Amino acid sequence: MPMRVALGVGGGIAAYKAAELVRALTSGGAAVQVVMTDSAQRFITPLTFAALTGRKVITSLFSSAGDEDTLSSSIEHIRVAQEHDILVVAPATADLMAQFSHGLARDFLTTLYLAFTGPVVLAPAMNTNMWLHPATQDNCKVLESRGHIIVSPGDGPLACGMVGPGRMAEPMQIAEVVLSHNASKKDLDGETLLLTAGPTREALDPVRFISNHSSGKMGYALAAAAARRGARVILVSGPVKLPPPDGVQIVQVESAAQMRAAVLQHLDASTIIIKSAAVADYHLENPPKQKVKKTAARLSLDLTPTPDILAELGRKKGGRLLIGFAAETSNMVAEARRKMETKNCDMVVGNLVNQAGLGFDSDENEVTLVMRTGETVQLPRASKRAIAESILDHLLKLRLALYASS
Ligand code: PMT
């Protein structure tokens, strides 16, 4: 089941950024119910959020005149409180924070806040002096002492002309905090994920190697998300500079040959395999044991192909779900589809690696999922953490579809 987010939008110039937040949350797999205060509706229309979420936006505590269903509308805040996993308020104005802090219930959002028992994330946005005022800071401390997460506002030029703290945090940053809080989702309980991440290094001599720009961020995000969602995770990792994700069994390797051996050793234990590693395609078969000296004017390398681990897994996967990646600089979807067919994968995650801020060594990615069912799903630009969550959502759906059709 997707994470169910109740998003309260307060009245401030940053309300327009809440639309971006909705996109980031939904692309991370969340279902979002928007609740707007009266003043928020002066900055952005409910229609914008209705279009983005596909749901009616809640704008008032009571049904408008003429609505017959007055009893159910008067307890709507209780239903919304019960049916959502997390309450997010962005922008959280000084006034809203004061009302939350003092337990006032004057409209739908403040009433929902009191009725809600789950985790609360607040993204304050206001003028610098209002933010720094002792009243706001005291309210903030009270709200933090209740265990609420405050996503601190950033520093910079504000709509009022001042420069200083008060700008609402970026929607992507808020979305990450929210999505990573989905601790209750355990839909990978009982699964063992065999994951590969990072680059491989193919030795040319004891001091030199061939490698690529993979940082391991995509694979580690998948490992962390899968472990959070209840899976046992075996992460076969090439050399990267990332700390091991919590609760993940790490197997460190260097070369493609070592990665192959580690993957085959753990194949039997796995139920799902994801190959996000950037494996070198060629290597020097017998690298010299001593450092190669710079003597000749030119040096040629006679490289031979490394083992194609994904293709071998495609032959040996049995009933396991096999997900490959395709790192491309053009024809991404066609290449991903070709790799899916030739390597017998169930899904291939295609990404372009020649776009600034995406692919290798970036915090964000934009991918297309090409699936055995014929379906193609585009996941728009989002953090690798959010992309990882969506890939896991889609692979679970894919497995159901494959079972149903077999
Ligand atoms: O690590 P990051 O910095 O976060 O970057 C993420 C990423 C760009 C590395 C990742 O998103 C990605 O695209 N990983 C796959 C990189 C790759 O090697 O793509 P490919 O199209 O060359 O290979 C296709 C598939 O075959 C991959 O699943 C790869 O793991 C696998 N392969 C490739 C060669 C080989 N000898 N054995 C393999 O198993």
Beta bridge partners of 369: 349, 377
Q: What end-to-end distance do the CA atoms of the chain give, in Å?
A: 23
The pLDDT value given to residue 64: 53
Which of the residues 135, 160, 163, 183 is marked catalytic? 160
Known catalytic membership, residue 345: no
pTM for the whole thing? Answer: 0.69
The tens place of each residue's pLDDT in the chain, 406 residues long, gives 788 999 999 999 999 999 999 999 998 889 999 999 999 999 999 999 999 999 999 999 876 544 545 555 668 888 899 999 999 999 999 999 999 999 999 999 999 999 999 889 999 999 999 999 999 999 998 998 887 888 889 888 877 787 888 999 999 889 988 987 766 678 899 999 999 999 999 999 999 999 999 999 999 999 999 998 999 999 999 999 998 988 999 999 999 999 999 999 999 999 999 999 999 999 999 999 999 998 888 999 999 999 999 999 999 999 999 999 999 999 999 999 999 999 999 999 999 999 999 999 998 889 999 999 999 998 877 778 878 988 998 999 999 999 888 8
**Ligand 1 center–CA 214 separation, angstroms:** 9
Cβ-based neighbours of 371, under 8 Å, separated by 6 or more: 340, 346, 347, 377, 394, 398
**The ligand 1 atom nearest the CA atom of 216:** 1
The pLDDT value given to residue 65: 47
**The ligand 1 atom nearest the CA atom of 218:** 4
pLDDT in tens, 339-382: 999 999 999 999 999 999 999 999 888 999 999 999 999 887 77
The pLDDT value given to residue 61: 86
**Ligand 1 center–CA 43 separation, angstroms:** 44
DSSP secondary structure string for all residues of 345-384 = -SEEEEEESSSTTSSTT-SEEEEEEEETTS-EEEEEEEEH
The pLDDT value given to residue 73: 60
Pocket residues: Cβ below 6 A from ligand 1: 198, 214-219, 256, 275-279, 281, 306, 308-310, 324-327, 339, 351, 353, 359-361
- The count of other CB atoms within 10 Å of the CB of residue 137 is 10
Three-state SS at 169: coil
Beta strands in 93-161, from DSSP E residues, in sequence order: 120-124, 149-150, 154-157
CA neighbor of 205 nearest in space, from 124, 291, 310? 291
Q: Where are the domains of the chain?
A: 4-179, 192-405
Do the beta carbons of residue 379 and residue 369 sit within 8 Å? yes
Superfamily of domain 4-179: Flavin prenyltransferase-like (3.40.50.1950)
Q: Whose CA is nearest to atom 26 of ligand 1?
A: 310
CB-facing half-sphere around the CA of 300: CA atoms within 13 A: 2
User: What type of residue is 393?
Assistant: D
> Which CATH architecture is the domain 192-405 placed in?
3-Layer(aba) Sandwich (3.40)
Do the beta carbons of residue 272 and residue 347 sit within 8 Å? no
Sign of CA dihedral 156, 162, 166, 170: negative
pLDDT in tens, 262-299: 999 999 999 999 999 999 999 999 999 999 998 888 99
Chain centre distance of CA 157:
29
Assess whether the region 4-179 and the region 192-405 belong to the same CATH fold. yes
Segment (H or E) for 96: helix 94-102
What would the two tokens of residue 97 be?
A: 């924070």
DSSP secondary structure string for all residues of 59-77 = --SSPPTT-S-HHHHHTHH
